[in-house]
Structure 1
Amino acid sequence: MTNRAIISTPDAPTAIGPYSQAVKVGNTVWLSGQIPLVPDTMELVTGDITAQAKQVFYNLAAVAEAAGGTLNNAVKINISLTDMADFAAVNEVMMEFLQAPYPARACVQVAGLPKGVAIEIEAILAL
């Protein structure tokens, strides 16, 4: 695949496994799931789900920018939560980072996430 580009930025956490921060093919960018890690320290954000979700969206925004876009280029977002009671708070944070019309989205509750975090979000952008 000759038009495949790996997207990487120091403004988002480095991968904690065998994956890239994002992969761009043509005008489509697949952003890997982000958890509430602070890029500079690779430490987890502690505190309520709002603080954690904001860090996740900051991380996603940094990768989107490195790919040549913004989160407003998102066409699909997948949210994984360990507790669906956090759904409303995550919606509020999402509305701080994206403008209407919003992308398609799925939100699921999962038994566990990397490093024991409460939230992970991935996105697909169309540039």
Structure 2
Amino acid sequence: MSGPVHVALPALARPGGHYSHAAVGGGLVFVAGQLPITPDGERLADAAFEVQAVQTLANVEVALLAAGSGIGKLLQVRVYLDDIANWPAFDRIYAQWAGPSRPARAIVPTGPLHFGFKVEVEAMGLG
């Protein structure tokens, strides 16, 4: 049995720590927590929640596609929000992004997130 494959993603900003944006193993794709950071590294911490959510989900999609997956192959999504009051706005944006795909999902209110961001999303899907 071979180990996981770590996917290089030049379309995303470099990871800020010792991790990969995505890893593939056992027919599954695991996407690390994505933040509202543009591909050129701009941190959108001061942007409106909706802007942060759209960028974060775009980053998740880029990671999925680069790893041979996609939104339609998602199995589970975990969403971390700094304020649960943002849940309705996130759900609207997420529904549009996910379309007919309805993976299992958890939304976790966390309080402050890294770098002052309002949202972080991680995901798992089929490869």
Normalised TM-score (structure 2): 0.92
Structure 2: tracts of 5 or more residues without a match? none
Structure 1: tracts of 5 or more residues without a match? none
Q: Contact conserved, 1:29 with 1:67, CA < 8 A, in 2?
A: yes
Deviation at 1:3, TM superposition (A): 4.4
| Distance in 2 of aligned mates of 1:44 and 1:66 | 22
- Report 1:16-35 matches (<5 A): 16-35=16-35
| Distance in 1 of aligned mates of 2:16 and 2:25 | 23
Corresponding letter in the other structure for 2:56? V
Count of aligned pairs between the two proteins: 126
Q: Contact conserved, 1:13 with 1:59, CA < 8 A, in 2?
A: no
* Partner in structure 2 of residue 98 of structure 1: 98
* Partner in structure 2 of residue 43 of structure 1: 42
Corresponding letter in the other structure for 2:8? S
Q: Contact conserved, 2:74 with 2:101, CA < 8 A, in 1?
A: no
Deviation at 1:101, TM superposition (A): 4.0
Corresponding letter in the other structure for 1:43? E
* Partner in structure 2 of residue 84 of structure 1: 84
**SS at structure 2 position matched to 1:69:** coil
Normalised TM-score (structure 1): 0.92
